[in-house]
Chains A and B, each alone.
Chain A
Amino acid sequence: MKLKKVFLALGLGMCIMMTGCGSAKQTGSSTASTGEAKEIQAIKDRGVLKVGVKVDVPKYGYKNPKTGQIEGFEIDLSKAIAKKILGDENKVEFQGVTAKTRGPLLDNGEIDMVAATFTITEERKKSYNFSDAYMKDGVGLLVKKSLGVSSLKDLNNKTIGVAQSATTKAALQDEAGKQGITLKFSELGGYPELKAALDSGRIDCFAVDASILNGYVDDSTVILDDRYNPQEYGIASKKDNTELAKVINGVISEMKSSGEIDKLITKWEIK
């Protein structure tokens, strides 16, 4: 009998949760239809723009151990957007995210936008708004020099380490199909784990966007020349926040045409 009560409570709890999100959905849609500037206003009221960035990708979003500050190309981009919305580029609050957490945190409103090496895909466009691309990159393969491989084909039947939620696995599976080879995948939670797994030999190859790999290559490893699935990074915002997406896109396009983006790319020595 106790069991029955517990199940009843679980069921009740689930119903409450679903109605909860149902009502949340309603308030979301009303905001979109009536208050165009409401989302922007909320940010202005709050006084700070909350941005999710990487903290472990040198040149893009990296927490400098010496200064304790997060710095990088995407940090500068976010600051420019904060300047546009709030008038001050320092009115921005950065939160470290990983490939796994950036989507959910955007969904639940903990961050307003994501500038974290977020690749634009058709699939993702269904769930998020993306700005125009600000950077182009491709999937790269990091391997130990001692492994002696030179291309993806040599990695037939080997284990590739990828990050959860990254586009890497899908991209490589596609490529493997085309080349007629089989790959094994190991999904780990973050880049540090993947690097450690590569070092220890758990995985034969650490695969992720080449720009991210640049931060992890060292004397014993090498990034193969192959690049797959050319991908573009965009700034993501919540699907309902159409006004914010417009503003973000405005800033990005402006920066592209004025050459600001190129200046930043040179500043951060991104190839």
Chain B
Amino acid sequence: MSTVFNQANIMFLLEGMKLTLTIALISIALSMFFGTILAILRNFSKGILGRFATIYIEIFRNTPLLLWILSIRFLVPIRPMYSGILSFTLFTSAIMAEIFRGGMNSVSKGQYEAAYSQGFSKFQTLRYIILPQSFRRCIPTFLSQAVTVIKDTSFLWAVGIEEFTGKGMILMGSFATSFQIFLLFGALAGMYFIINFTISCGVRTIKTEY
């Protein structure tokens, strides 16, 4: 047990976790922002912007994340961490967009009509009436998606980025007994579990408020 969990190894793994969380959190924040924009464009823009949003969302929703991680790492000359953030942001924005659209669509039409009858312009209706409500409804699902992003950062190991899973795999190379291997797997899974389960519990608490 002490061979697996000595000081050096724990520091090694935590370095990876730091990278995992950095990439995940920045990507989540950026993709919530861009996703919202894309959703509004797709729903309310009839012209080229609307079509662009639709195409963007469809392309990223129907292709694997791993493909984008590889493509962006190999084709875009930026540092590993930024490469990860870029891949995740591009990909997750499409998903966030769809979540937000779901939220917007669930706001009843009556709200639009009431707002227009009060003299609100389309933009004002969106800004003051629809968006705040949509956003509140989406928060649980946004957080669920955050959990997915944190988990999916493990795919970055495919391009040699040393996030938590990567560090774990490198460490695993130095162990050869089944006990050590299982212990390490358990620790890796456990760490993700603790972080994600906490967020999921938070989601459940928020949901019950509705």
A–B direct contact (CB < 8 Å):
yes
Which of A10, A98, A195 has most chain B Cβ within 10 Å? Answer: A195
- When the two chains form the complex, which single residue of B51, B80, B176 contacts A95, counting CB atoms closer than 8 Å? B80
Apart from A105-B74, A108-B74: 14 A-B pairs, beta carbons within 8 A: A6-B55, A9-B59, A10-B59, A55-B162, A66-B8, A101-B159, A105-B73, A108-B77, A109-B77, A110-B77, A193-B169, A196-B169, A196-B173, A199-B175
Q: Indicate if the CB atoms of A101 and B8 lie closer than 8 Å.
A: no
In the bound complex, CA of A49 to CA of B54 (Å): 42
In the bound complex, CA of A247 to CA of B172 (Å): 40
Chain B's interface: helix, strand, loop or mixed, by majority?
Answer: helix
B145-160 vs A: 1/0 string, CB under 8 Å?
0000000000001111
Q: Indicate if the CB atoms of A220 and B74 lie closer than 8 Å.
A: no
- When the two chains form the complex, which single residue of A96, A108, A192 contacts B173, counting CB atoms closer than 8 Å? A192
- A101-150, CB < 8 A from B: 101, 104-105, 107-110
- Point out residues on B near A: beta carbons under 8 Å: 8-9, 11-12, 15, 51, 54-55, 58-59, 73-80, 157-160, 162, 169-170, 172-176, 181
Q: Indicate if the CB atoms of B9 and A220 lie closer than 8 Å.
A: no
With a cutoff of 8 Å between Cβ atoms, the chain A residues found around residue B170 in the complex are 56, 192
In the bound complex, CA of A107 to CA of B172 (Å): 31
Q: Indicate if the CB atoms of A108 and B76 lie closer than 8 Å.
A: yes
In the assembled complex, the CB of B53 is this many whole angstroms from the nearest CB of chain A, namely 11
In the bound complex, CA of A191 to CA of B51 (Å): 45
In the bound complex, CA of A257 to CA of B176 (Å): 43
With a cutoff of 8 Å between Cβ atoms, the chain B residues found around residue A105 in the complex are 73-74, 77
In the bound complex, CA of A191 to CA of B174 (Å): 11
Q: Indicate if the CB atoms of B55 and A98 lie closer than 8 Å.
A: no
- When the two chains form the complex, which single residue of B8, B79, B160 contacts A97, counting CB atoms closer than 8 Å? B160
In the bound complex, CA of A96 to CA of B157 (Å): 12
In the bound complex, CA of A219 to CA of B174 (Å): 11
In the assembled complex, the CB of B207 is this many whole angstroms from the nearest CB of chain A, namely 34
In the bound complex, CA of A216 to CA of B176 (Å): 11
- When the two chains form the complex, which single residue of B59, B75, B77, B176 contacts A220, counting CB atoms closer than 8 Å? B176
- When the two chains form the complex, which single residue of B9, B51, B75, B176 contacts A199, counting CB atoms closer than 8 Å? B176
- Point out residues on A near B: beta carbons under 8 Å: 2, 5-6, 9-10, 55-56, 65-66, 68, 95-98, 100-101, 104-105, 107-110, 189-193, 195-196, 199-200, 216, 218-220
In the assembled complex, the CB of B158 is this many whole angstroms from the nearest CB of chain A, namely 6
In the bound complex, CA of A41 to CA of B123 (Å): 51
**Total A-B pairs, Cβ < 8 A:** 72
Q: Indicate if the CB atoms of B172 and A196 lie closer than 8 Å.
A: yes
In the assembled complex, the CB of A114 is this many whole angstroms from the nearest CB of chain B, namely 13
Q: Indicate if the CB atoms of A5 and B159 lie closer than 8 Å.
A: no
With a cutoff of 8 Å between Cβ atoms, the chain B residues found around residue A193 in the complex are 169
With a cutoff of 8 Å between Cβ atoms, the chain B residues found around residue A219 in the complex are 176
Q: Indicate if the CB atoms of B173 and A195 lie closer than 8 Å.
A: yes
In the bound complex, CA of A205 to CA of B162 (Å): 25
With a cutoff of 8 Å between Cβ atoms, the chain B residues found around residue A191 in the complex are 173
In the bound complex, CA of A107 to CA of B173 (Å): 30
When A6-B58, A101-B159 are in contact, do A108 and B176 touch as well, CB less than 8 Å?
no
Q: Indicate if the CB atoms of A5 and B51 lie closer than 8 Å.
A: yes
Tell me the nearest residue of chain B to A55, going by C-beta.
B162
Q: Indicate if the CB atoms of A96 and B160 lie closer than 8 Å.
A: yes
Show 21 A/B contacts (Cβ-Cβ < 8 Å), sorted by A. Answer: A5-B51, A55-B162, A65-B8, A65-B12, A68-B15, A96-B80, A100-B159, A100-B160, A101-B74, A101-B159, A101-B160, A104-B74, A105-B73, A110-B79, A189-B158, A189-B160, A190-B169, A192-B173, A195-B173, A196-B172, A199-B175
Which of B11, B51, B159, B173 has most chain A Cβ within 10 Å? Answer: B173
In the bound complex, CA of A110 to CA of B82 (Å): 12
Q: Indicate if the CB atoms of B173 and A95 lie closer than 8 Å.
A: no
In the bound complex, CA of A68 to CA of B18 (Å): 14
Tell me the nearest residue of chain A to B7, going by C-beta.
A66
In the assembled complex, the CB of B76 is this many whole angstroms from the nearest CB of chain A, namely 7
